[in-house]
Structure 1
Amino acid sequence: MTFPAASDVEFGAEDHALTVTELGYGAMSIAGAYGAIAEQDSQTLLHDLYDRGITFLDTANVYGDGESELRLGEFLKGRRYDVTIATKVGIVKGGGPGKRRARGDAAYIREQIDGSLKRLGTDYVDLYYLHRVDPEVPIEESAGALGELVEAGKVRTIGLSEATAEEIRRAHAVHPVTAVQSEWSVFARDVETHVLGACRELGIGFVAYSPVGRGLITDRFDFDAVAENDVRRTFPWFSSENLPANRQLVQRVGEIGQGAGLSTGATAMAWLYAKARQLGVNLSVIPGTRYIEHWDELATGLEKALDDDAVSALDALAEQVRGDRSFDPNWVSGGREGLLPRA
């Protein structure tokens, strides 16, 4: 069986450059965010991805209270130097989504890296993100602390997640930022207004998470099957008042993709790569799933290009989406840039 070939993409420059696959894997799913997955099943999934040439793996210390990092650490045994690992610091768990807080002070960042390294079973990570910008701590302090970890050899490059364009520029002035990670999809477009321009200007790579809207923009989404503890139940797109209208938009995505022979999810993936080329952004996309067959379906978005008419038709859907992409607009870059909320 053959699989779509993921090419390499370069983030950053010179001493702060990082080469990653343009298609990676978001490992929040192996910590149970969207439903339980057994340890052995998670290892099988990671091995299947590796066999497909996927070597860019993304996690965070907060995913499953470290469980995602632990499972990746088990997988990394014997192949650490063949895999690019990104993890994150900066979210302190409370009672779940909407009750968490950002923490980005230097002491906390220095403390947390050692726990991540231990769980991952390595003495360095390739990319270390500030998971959320702490409103109580200047971004310069957070970036400086991340930069100190580079000097200490614990981190190769640094990144920011859900940072505004202004925050990106301020952090980059303290220490070169190699990558920015934020949500970007057919339905979530706010990063195109300011953030992607800042990345292009500064030579920073962009990593798109939730490229299919946490499974919404696929042919298989069934809200009735979503568990009570599934994080999606806290997001406005999935509320009872918004979901019916958003499902109609999902159907439209599928109709547009049919002309290219793509499923709904693969259409959303193909659209992202088309937009990145259009906007001049170096992009890696990190879908997350518990099932390799779902991942393979999304990966077909690498195989077939959408024509300009299809891209334009998909572009027009975002303004019709009901609800914000986050439970708290201030939790994401678009909210702090005044681009959210949306009715």
Structure 2
Amino acid sequence: MKKNKLGSSELLVGEIGLGCMSIGIEEDKAIRLLHEALDLGINFLDTADLYDEGRNEELVGKAIRGRRSDVVLATKVGNRRIPGQEGWTWDASKTYILSAVKDSLRRLGTDYIDLYQLHGGTLDDPIDETIEAFEQLKQEGVIRYYGISSIRPNVIREYVSRSNIVSVMSQYSILDRRPEEEVLPLLKSEGISVIARGPVASGILTDVGENKLSKGYLGYEEEELRSFRDAVKAASNRPMLETALRYPLASPAVGCVLAGASTSEQLHANVKAATSTPLTASELEAIRSGVPANEYTQHR
């Protein structure tokens, strides 16, 4: 699998990474799936302390035991669970980040994290304090690099101008082209990589996505989504999953596309897409003429 350098870092990540949220909580099955991903050449594993209340990090940690050097390990921080309370609260404070990283390291069974990411963020956060926490952890060798996971252009701009982030994880797909105007050009010019999540748009952009249309997506209704799927099919002779995973990689700003997998079959399909040829100019033109670019309105 082709590997790309993540921003200004020394991290080399495969074009397709594994979003570990999809692996489930059944230990043997999850570890088997993670081992298979590594054997197939996937080296970027992305988890978060939030997923399954930390269980996901534990499973990833068990799976990479003895193979740590083969993995670019990413996790996230910022969503704080308070014992005895339902759900979680947002906490981007320096104190919390310096505390939470210790728990992530313990669950992951490692003494360093390759990429530590802020799991969200708003303009109301103590941004300088958040950056201080990441910089301190980097100096201490606890993390190698840091980034943010955000779809908010204004937040992204703040971190680009004030921090040393090497990546921005953001939702980006054929059905969510919002980053193309505001985010991708900025990050490309600053040498910061995009990690594209949600490439199959909740499964709509797969060959079995027909039954997911009634749920809608990003304000699009069933009939609109049906016409978009038809346009994607007409644009390329490839399997729809392959088209969907290759589309974000057409942008030079994108270093990695995160794809989930809960079965071996899905994993193999993702890897097959990773080793396929890039979309041609005519394929891209057909896709973009059939699916209009949307814009950020709510999330700024």
Q: Give TM-score, length-normalised by structure 2.
A: 0.88
SS in 2 for 1:270: helix
Among 282, 291, 294, the residue aligned to 1:318: 291
Inter-partner Cα distance in structure 2 for 1:316 and 1:186:
11
Inter-partner Cα distance in structure 2 for 1:134 and 1:320:
24
Inter-partner Cα distance in structure 2 for 1:73 and 1:141:
29
- CA shift for structure 1 position 162: 1.0
- CA shift for structure 1 position 29: 0.5
Match of 1:208 in 2: 196
Match of 2:217 in 1: 237
- CA shift for structure 1 position 114: 0.9
Among 218, 225, 246, the residue aligned to 1:270: 246
Unaligned runs of 5+ in 1: 1-5, 32-36, 227-231, 325-332, 338-343
Inter-partner Cα distance in structure 1 for 2:65 and 2:228:
43
Inter-partner Cα distance in structure 2 for 1:317 and 1:101:
40
Alignment: residue pair count? 295
- CA shift for structure 1 position 265: 0.9
Among 250, 259, 269, the residue aligned to 2:229: 250
SS in 2 for 1:128: strand
Change over 3 Å in CA distance of 1:163–1:252 after alignment to 2: closer
Match of 2:2 in 1: 7
Unaligned runs of 5+ in 2: none
Change over 3 Å in CA distance of 1:212–1:24 after alignment to 2: same
Retained in 2: the 8 A contact 1:85–1:127?
Answer: yes
Inter-partner Cα distance in structure 2 for 1:247 and 1:79:
43
Identity of aligned residues (%): 29
Among 219, 240, 244, the residue aligned to 2:207: 219
Whether 1:26 and 2:19 are equivalent positions in the alignment is yes
Whether 1:294 and 2:266 are equivalent positions in the alignment is yes
Retained in 1: the 8 A contact 2:17–2:259?
Answer: yes
Inter-partner Cα distance in structure 1 for 2:77 and 2:297:
20
Where does 1:41-190 land on structure 2 (aligned, <5 Å)? 41-92=29-80, 102-162=90-150, 164-190=152-178
Compare 281-290 and 69-78 and name the one that shifted more.
281-290
SS in 2 for 1:187: coil
Change over 3 Å in CA distance of 1:223–1:282 after alignment to 2: closer
Residue by residue over 1:308-340, the C-alpha shift from the partner in whole angstroms, topping out at 9 and shown as x without a partner, is 22111111343388xx9xxxxxxxx76334xxx
Change over 3 Å in CA distance of 1:105–1:83 after alignment to 2: same
Retained in 2: the 8 A contact 1:139–1:167?
Answer: no
